[in-house]
Chain A
Amino acid sequence: AQKVTQAQTEISVVEKEDVTLDCVYETRDTTYYLFWYKQPPSGELVFLIRRNSFDEQNEISGRYSWNFQKSTSSFNFTITASQVVDSAVYFCALSEGSSSNTGKLIFGQGTTLQVKP
């Protein structure tokens, strides 16, 4: 069965600190997709990144970076030099690419990040 675990419920850092949000997933499929979304106080989920199971290259986008490790079933997200605007709830999600034709994202419980000035 699919499952996504974000063990950190809340994280609080001071501005300019680096912070890593953990994500561990479970799936039996060999083809799957991993996502990170950000949910600011306004409510909408903002897409950050998508990774497929065959691409283990780490990715960097500005202050954001992602570390995908199939050996540990983890897809961690690091924010470098955090800013107050990074304060939000962050969700990791999984989709099994070879399953049904219907779209279905399984979300973790989310990590609330608070960045203090």
Chain B
Amino acid sequence: KAGVTQTPRYLIKTRGQQVTLSCSPISGHRSVSWYQQTPGQGLQFLFEYFSETQRNKGNFPGRFSGRQFSNSRSEMNVSTLELGDSALYLCASKDRAKGEKLFFGSGTQLSVL
């Protein structure tokens, strides 16, 4: 089985722009969650989607949004980028019927200049 795929691997944007990140979960996994990773802060939960519905949302401003499609692929959008948004964005999928184990993608490294 292919693992969790995130695209693009690297992104460079300037302040004020918006960005869309993509995540393809493992085949059969309907739950996708997103995390922001920065040095010293660890992994901060952004949101989780299951069957196209947002189930949980972390403590991030409304500039961060996401969605999930019928094929379980998910996208995350950040509008009006700020310097502090520079981070590694990880997505993870899981098969809820087989437990809560998360499978992570390699992430998208976003740099905001």
User: Do A and B interact?
Assistant: no
Q: A residues touching B (Cβ–Cβ < 8 Å)?
A: none
